[in-house]
């Protein structure tokens, strides 16, 4: 049987314990997972693409529950559905937290289906322990000097602190 390939697209600015929960559980569904950051120059981000990729890679390596040999972390200039098709993906993976995520995800899902109807999207509901975590709240808490250790892996905690010193 051929490998079942998944694509998990996102901004990951920065990667949080919520994203890692989706990656971990996504690995139960897919044999191989591409974590993909679209190279969207219009979007102003806290970390550069390369920094975000490196943080995801380090967080995955540090997590004993994630098999990093089955994961690639990359950026793409393509639309994510087109990237998914180019790597022979079976589906894209997205996480759902609150009802508030639903409307945006539904719109994205429909748009992606119109662009490429062969690529399915699979949604995983976030685990309740991490369902309140978002990259934007993490950045906001850190900017106000708060403790983000419950929301992100250690490498991210350090990287956010370093970045704030440099800013
Ligand atoms: P995007 O800008 O594409 O929404 P994000 O990095 O914010 O990028 O999110 C990528 C995906 O991860 C989205 O599907 C989002 O809903 C999901 N996600 C983010 N945080 C969590 C979390 N705490 N629990 C579950 N899914 C999450």
CA–CA distance, 38 with 49 (Å, rounded to integer): 9
C-alpha 116: how far from chain center: 21
- Count of CB atoms situated within 10 Å of the CB of 81: 23
Mean pLDDT, the chain, as a whole number? 95
Give the three-state DSSP class for 131.
Answer: coil
Q: Is the peptide bond before 14 cis (omega within 30 degrees of 0)?
A: yes
Contact predicate 120/129, CB 8 Å: no
pLDDT at 1: 65
- Count of CB atoms situated within 10 Å of the CB of 97: 16
pLDDT band at 43 (very low <50, low <70, confident <90, very high): confident
**What is the tens place of the pLDDT at every residue in 6-19?**
999 999 999 999 99
- Ranking 97-106, 119-128, 130-139 by mean pLDDT, the lowest is 97-106
**What is the tens place of the pLDDT at every residue in 74-106?**
999 999 999 999 999 999 999 999 888 999 999
pTM of the model: 0.95
Q: Is the peptide bond before 139 cis (omega within 30 degrees of 0)?
A: no
CA–CA distance, 47 with 156 (Å, rounded to integer): 11
Mutate to test the pocket of ligand 1, among 6, 9, 12, 18 (most ligand atoms within 8 A of CB): 18
- In the structure encoding, which two tokens stand for residue 22, read together? 């989706």
pLDDT at 34: 98
What residues does ligand 1 touch, defined as CB less than 6 Å away? 10-12, 16, 18-19, 21-22, 94-95, 97, 101, 126, 130-131, 133-135
Mutate to test the pocket of ligand 1, among 10, 13, 14 (most ligand atoms within 8 A of CB): 10
């Amino acid at each position: 049987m051929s490998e079942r390939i998944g694509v998990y697209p996102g901004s990951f600015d920065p990667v949080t314990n919520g994203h890692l929960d989706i990656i971990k559980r996504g690995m139960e569904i897919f044999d191989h997972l591409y974590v993909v950051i679209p190279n969207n120059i219009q979007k102003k981000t806290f970390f550069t693409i390369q920094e975000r990729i490196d943080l995801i890679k380090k967080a995955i390596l540090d997590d004993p529950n994630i098999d990093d040999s089955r994961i690639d972390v990359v950026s793409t200039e393509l639309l994510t559905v087109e990237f998914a098709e180019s790597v022979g993906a079976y589906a894209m993976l997205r996480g759902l937290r609150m009802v508030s995520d639903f409307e945006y995800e539904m719109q994205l899902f429909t748009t992606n289906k119109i662009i490429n109807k062969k690529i399915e999207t699979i949604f995983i509901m976030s685990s309740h322990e991490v369902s309140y975590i978002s990259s934007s709240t993490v950045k906001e808490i850190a900017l106000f000097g708060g403790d983000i250790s419950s929301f992100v892996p250690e490498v991210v905690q350090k990287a956010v602190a370093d970045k704030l010193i440099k800013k």
